[in-house]
Amino acid sequence: MKMKLLLCGAVVFAYSACSMQSTDTVKSSDRGGAKIIFDTDMGPDYDDIGAISVLHALADSGECEILATVASDGHPSIAPTIEVFNRYFGRDSIPVGEAVQGAPDFTAENGWNDTLINTFAPDVRTKDYPDAVTVYRRVLASQPDNSVTIVTVGFLSNISALLDSQPDEYSELNGVDLIKAKVNQLVAMAGAFPEGREFNVIKHASASVNAIAKWPQPILFSGFEIGVQILTGGKVAEQGGDNPVSTGYAYNLRTYTKDGETNRNSWDQTAVLCAARNPEDYFYVNGPGKFIVHEDGSNAWDPTTDAGHYFISHKYPYNYVSDTIEDLMLKAASR
């Protein structure tokens, strides 16, 4: 989700592509499909609709397994909206967690979350959802070592709280050690490269600083400059149908975007795509280096320090990736 009124720094023009060395666990074919925990703010922007749709489409094709879905935005409509999509895709059993205390708390002014909830599953408003850290710790503790990919397309609030968590009934490990044992990588729609200010990072800057500083495993970043160029959603909206994917895009293209816009930027979908498939099939992968977050949430890239951080940059004409994402969204909307 990105209410991208924020200015990015310089866009990446020329970085040489590097393999991710030992971190090419990002290649789902090497591990029989990624085991994914999806962490989303699900608003105020609506590329989150595309992201969760792509995620479920990839799960339908056996390219990933969705272990859990958690909200990083504390507004009371966010976790129920996630539940709407899990239900539509026939995966009611996927755990849904609400954002940890202190996470940003707002939603879209056009009320698209409420529109989808009221249309498709009004009863989800009455459900009680566990907090995201509880969901994370319970799910991670039950998984094989080094097997889980976490995809975050919202604020880093939950990640920060998970890192600071202490042993509990699910695991005797603290948060850092639990992540080190169970998670193979974090894929994050966050930041701007080589420097800038990006919504997900600055809106909970203290959590971003803490999360990046303490995260013990590789991180692959999809920055602002990636999704801003990849436009999708128009075909999904035109396809129509009684489903939250087409309904969500059609409603938002009417009420959220500027007059005349027929598509939306695809920030969040790129992170999901790179988590389930080999990112080098679509982008250059740059690094290792270090993603630096300043106290105000602005960020910079240090290519001289190996912190296990990587970022993607454009390889193909933009429509190559947009067509891939749109096709997955269309499959999701027509299931």
One-letter identity of residue 307: A
What average pLDDT does the chain have? 92
Whether residue 249 has pLDDT greater than 60 = yes
pLDDT grade, residue 259 (50/70/90)?
confident
pLDDT grade, residue 89 (50/70/90)?
very high
pLDDT grade, residue 260 (50/70/90)?
confident
What tens digit of pLDDT does each residue of 34-85 get?
Answer: 999 999 999 999 999 999 999 999 999 999 999 999 999 999 999 999 999 9
Whether residue 5 has pLDDT greater than 80 = no
Q: Which domain holds residue 203?
A: 21-333
Whether residue 210 has pLDDT greater than 70 = yes
SS3 50: helix
Quick check: 23 and 218 in contact, CB under 8 A? yes
CATH number of the domain to which 289 belongs:
3.90.245.10
Q: Where are the beta strands (DSSP E) in the chain?
A: 34-40, 64-71, 96-97, 148-152, 183-189, 195-196, 219-222, 231-232, 264-265, 283-293, 299-302, 309-314
pLDDT grade, residue 24 (50/70/90)?
very low
**Structural domain includes residue 7:** no
pLDDT grade, residue 151 (50/70/90)?
very high
**Structural domain includes residue 224:** yes
Lay out the sheet containing 148-152: strands in order across: 96-97, 64-71, 34-40, 148-152, 183-189, 219-222, 309-314, 283-293, 299-302, 195-196
Per-residue DSSP letter, 149: E
- Look at residues 233, 278, 254, 215 and name the one whose alpha carbon lies nearest to residue 29: 278
**Structural domain includes residue 3:** no
pLDDT grade, residue 21 (50/70/90)?
very low
Average the pLDDT over 97-123 and give the result.
97
SS3 160: helix
According to the model, what pLDDT value does residue 17 have?
41
Q: How many domains does the chain have?
A: 1
According to the model, what pLDDT value does residue 9 have?
41
**Structural domain includes residue 66:** yes
According to the model, what pLDDT value does residue 18 have?
45
**Structural domain includes residue 141:** yes
**Structural domain includes residue 11:** no
**Structural domain includes residue 8:** no
Quote the pTM value: 0.92
What is 225-262 written as a DSSP string?
A: HHHTT-EE-HHHHHH--SSHHHHHHHHHHHHTSPTT--
**Structural domain includes residue 232:** yes
Strand partners, 71: 40
Strand partners, 35: 65, 148
Average the pLDDT over 278-300 and give the result.
98
